[in-house]
Amino acid sequence: MYKILKKTQFSEKVFEFRVHAPRMAKHAHAGQFLMVRINETGERVPFTFANWNSEEGWIEFIFMVVGKTTECLSKLNEGDEIQDITGPLGCPTEIDGDRVVILGGGVGLAIAYPVARTMCEAGKKVSVIMGARTKDLLILTEQFEALPLENLFITTDDGSMGEKGVVTAPLERLCQAGEVDSAFAVGPVPMMKFSALTCQKYNVPIVASLNPIMVDGTGMCGCCRVEVGGKTKFACVDGPDFDATQVDWDDLAKRQATYRTEEAASMKHYEEECACQQK
């Protein structure tokens, strides 16, 4: 059992949990993730470490409510316990160069934030490009604003906040100005794909944090497999970060959508009768 020490709500659908996990706190690195199983009937879902403190023995993760598990999780409160948390899993993020651009789209912003924070702490010159379909889906804006960034760009598809358009526009400008040594992208597949193409054009190395569906997170099931450079890789042990110019994006997009129908059914079932809902 893993006790929730602190719950912070950032916006309607975005929360941060601080959980007691001393051993994990000692070994977590930026870019690594953990897997949560809320209770006996729960699914195993991955979340990236947002923060950790080895002296105080806690770790934190940020999540956005998108379906059954995250909805159920959002109902838990300080003092409640999560049945299983496994981690740290995956390889730490490594970004070369001094001037880095971090691109985050949608839920990916939850993953981009800890990476941006660690890069700032490492003394790098960090620019962040935040993207979402619309204003309401932009998350962690204040948190990003509080970081000592070189630049912070916000884009929305509908122009409801920041500039109208997609993250590649500011990225292209930075690349053109020769202000980027390397880039890191996490978000929806098209966003990562076009970020990769843009960087490729300017010969800027770019890493993407891939988010395929996972089951065990330890290299045993093969569910998280992705095609990188024509080879099959396991995002949970070989990644989740990969050279974005080598990823087969169509493959990833198709695999992510495998359980659309079941995910909707799960949510419906939950709304109708799940026990933790009534709590």
Ligand X SMILES: Cc1cc2nc3c(=O)[nH]c(=O)nc-3n(C[C@H](O)[C@H](O)[C@H](O)COP(=O)(O)OP(=O)(O)OC[C@H]3O[C@@H](n4cnc5c(N)ncnc54)[C@H](O)[C@@H]3O)c2cc1C
Which residues of the shown chain bind ligand FES in the complex (CB under 6 A)? 214-217, 219-224, 234, 236
Closest CA to 77 of 5, 25, 12: 5
Contact 241, 29 (CB under 8 A): no
How far from the centroid of its chain's Cα atoms is residue 222's Cα?
A: 20
Q: Name 212's Cβ contacts closer than 8 Å, sequence gap at least 6.
A: 223, 224, 225, 226, 235, 252, 255, 256
Contact 152, 130 (CB under 8 A): yes
Interface with other proteins, residue 269, by CB under 8 A: yes
Interface with ligand X, residue 70, by CB under 6 A: yes
C-alpha span between 236 and 128 (Å, rounded): 25
Q: Which does 58 bind (CB under 5 to 8 A by kind): other proteins, ligand X, ligand FES, none?
A: none
**Amino acid code (one letter) for 109:** L
Interface with other proteins, residue 277, by CB under 8 A: no
Interface with ligand X, residue 117, by CB under 6 A: no
Contact 10, 62 (CB under 8 A): yes
Interface with other proteins, residue 219, by CB under 8 A: yes
What minimum distance in Å lies between the beta carbon of 30 and ligand X? 12
Interface with other proteins, residue 257, by CB under 8 A: yes
Q: What are the φ/ψ torsions at residue 172 (nearest 5 degrees)?
A: -60, -40
Sole binder of ligand X in the list 9, 56, 66, 159 (CB under 6 A)? 66
Sole binder of ligand X in the list 147, 149, 169, 213 (CB under 6 A)? 213
List of residues contacting other proteins (CB under 8 A): 23-24, 27, 37, 41-44, 68-69, 83-89, 215-216, 218-223, 225-227, 232, 234, 237, 251, 254-255, 257-259, 262-263, 265-266, 269-270
List of residues contacting ligand X (CB under 6 A): 33, 43, 45-48, 61-64, 66-70, 107, 110-111, 211-214, 218, 240, 256, 263
